Amino acid sequence: MIISKPYQLDHEKLLKNNSGNRSVYIETYGCQMNVADSEVVMSILADSGFRQIEQMEQADLILVNTCSIRENAEQRIRGRLGEFKRVKNANPQLIVGVIGCMAERLKEKLLEQEKLVDIVVGPDAYRDLPRLISQAETGQTAINVLLSREETYAEIAPVRYASNGISAFVSIMRGCDNMCSYCIVPFTRGRERSRDPETILVEVRTLIEQGFKEVTLLGQNVDKYSWKKDEPEQVNFAQLLAKVAELAPELRVRFSTSYPQDMTDQVLETMAKYPNICKHIHFPAQSGSTRVLELMRRGYTREWYMSRVEAIKRFMPDCAISTDVITGFSSETEAEHQETLSLIEWAEFDLAFMFAYSERPNTYAHRNLPDDVPEAVKSRRLTEIIELQNKISEKVKQKDIGQTFEVLIEGTSKKSNEQWHGRTSQNKTVVFTAPNAKKGDYVKVKIRGATQATLLGELV
């Protein structure tokens, strides 16, 4: 997922964003967490006199918030750095900064390579940006890639420049302690830590006051959310979900990402209890083979994963489930690949994100498990998985046709200003016509048909 410039600045944002005398242009790559981080970064920069602009040629500062999850994510960003270099050639005063996961992974190396970059800032060091920028303005390079055990940017009010004004991301924890063997995230985002629930509730209340209708609570493994674990006033993820859902019945609450090993029945019960907690769980399986899952250090078996899917359906028969799958992990056999296919077939995921394994430097897998499935095999397996999932998505869509869903209107459809687009509780995009409705309304829509990625409906 790449989100570069989907801005719709609202009044509030303009006030904070456009008063500065220096200008910043930002691009964000990677996950939702990075989108949320960029909003925190823009808040810190606004406070130190930067206004945000959309033309990089006119910027005093270009920032790129980066992702290291797979080699191709990094390749794409390297391409962008080349582009920024061209802009810098025309404007030598320009400061170019790499922030986020690639900054954390490559550290000084980014400064050394071809003088493309002036500042490098890791995900836990954004408060230091103003100082680092000042240092770069004197012609020196500047770097801060310290990871923290405490930083959650808890009290910083993000500038919602990347939002449609209806839905917003709210970060509830940072880092990850899972140490899945293939994954770079624990190295780039550091140790897991939860954010003070009071600050989360304040942030959500502010969003409600500003007219937002949906929040997505973000963490690498939200099921491990835990505030003051050993004290009487402790809050776990299910309790936090309930607190947020209770703030306003007309606010939709989503979250991401759940971890199969840690997802509790208490979370499922809470989801079932509150109509405004959306009935969708992103539930990465990664593989359908217990042996491969063990090598991935996921901490669960195929059977365990299936039993948790059954639990979701037991608590909420109407709950959509999406997943992530990695194909061609170290030593994965043809039979194990078949097990992944059969799991996908069994689970009938509403949506799946599917990837070929990309070895990441210094992970457990890189140090201990050979990347020995040939690229051609990985790519053939990936195609098979994608084709199967396409068939399943088609089948799942057919089940939606004829049903009526409550849809939150998020804006006009891409193709026509006469049509709205919005999502169901199950996170499915619906396009429909409703002349008297407006952005932010909830409407009942009956599904009449579907295209590749969207449902087509009519107002009831």
Using CB under 6 A as the binding rule, whether residue 68 contacts ligand SF4 is answered as yes
Using CB under 6 A as the binding rule, whether residue 161 contacts ligand 5AD is answered as no
How many residues sit close enough to ligand SF4 to count as binding (CB under 6 A)? Answer: 13
Using CB under 6 A as the binding rule, whether residue 70 contacts ligand 5AD is answered as yes
Of 151, 157, 161, 257, the C-alpha closest to 204 is 157
**For ligand SF4, what does the binding mask look like between residues 97 and 116, x meaning CB under 6 A?**
---xx---------------
Using CB under 6 A as the binding rule, whether residue 408 contacts ligand SF4 is answered as no
189 binds, among ligand SF4, ligand 5AD, none (CB under 5 to 8 A by kind): ligand SF4
Stretch that binds ligand SF4, among 30-38, 233-241, 340-348, 418-426 (CB under 6 A): 30-38
Q: Collapse the DSSP code of 280 into the 3-class scheme (helix H, G, I; strand E, B; otherwise coil) and give the result.
A: strand
Query: Of the candidates 69, 132, 281, 409, which one interacts with ligand SF4 according to CB under 6 A?
Result: 69
129, 122 Cβ separation under 8 angstroms: no
Query: Of the candidates 184, 245, 251, 263, which one interacts with ligand SF4 according to CB under 6 A?
Result: 184
Q: Give the amino acid at 60.
A: D
Q: Give the amino acid at 117.
A: V
Q: Collapse the DSSP code of 124 into the 3-class scheme (helix H, G, I; strand E, B; otherwise coil) and give the result.
A: coil
> In angstroms, what is the minimal distance from the CB of 185 to ligand SF4?
5
Question: Which positions from 321 through 340 interact with ligand 5AD, judged by CB under 6 A?
Answer: 324, 326
CA dist 100 and 71 (Å) reads: 15
Q: What residue number has its CB nearest to ligand 5AD? A: 324
CA dist 289 and 6 (Å) reads: 39
Using CB under 6 A as the binding rule, whether residue 188 contacts ligand SF4 is answered as yes
Stretch that binds ligand SF4, among 27-35, 226-234, 239-247, 307-315 (CB under 6 A): 27-35
Using CB under 6 A as the binding rule, whether residue 36 contacts ligand SF4 is answered as no
459, 435 Cβ separation under 8 angstroms: no
301, 309 Cβ separation under 8 angstroms: no
CA dist 317 and 401 (Å) reads: 17
Using CB under 6 A as the binding rule, whether residue 277 contacts ligand SF4 is answered as no
410 is written with which tokens? 């998020």
70 binds, among ligand SF4, ligand 5AD, none (CB under 5 to 8 A by kind): ligand 5AD
288 binds, among ligand SF4, ligand 5AD, none (CB under 5 to 8 A by kind): none
Query: Of the candidates 24, 35, 42, 69, which one interacts with ligand 5AD according to CB under 6 A?
Result: 69
Helix axes 334-347, 302-315, angle to 10 degrees: 10
Stretch that binds ligand 5AD, among 47-55, 267-275, 353-361, 382-390 (CB under 6 A): 353-361
What is the helix (H) or strand (E) element at residue 420, kind and residue range?
A: strand 420-424
Question: Which positions from 281 through 300 interact with ligand 5AD, judged by CB under 6 A?
Answer: 284, 286
How many residues sit close enough to ligand 5AD to count as binding (CB under 6 A)? Answer: 12
CA dist 22 and 52 (Å) reads: 9
Outline where DSSP puts E strands in 145-284: 167-171, 173-174, 193-194, 214-218, 226-227, 235-236, 252-256, 280-282
Close Cβ partners of 144 (under 8 Å, ≥ 6 residues apart): 120, 121, 122, 125, 128, 132
Query: In 18-174, which ranges are continuous DSSP H helix?
Result: 32-47, 71-90, 101-106, 109-112, 129-137
Query: Of the candidates 355, 405, 420, 432, which one interacts with ligand 5AD according to CB under 6 A?
Result: 355
Q: Which residues bind ligand SF4 (CB under 6 A)?
A: 30-31, 33-34, 67-69, 100-101, 184-185, 188-189
Q: Which residues bind ligand 5AD (CB under 6 A)?
A: 69-70, 182-183, 284, 286, 324, 326, 355, 357-358, 360
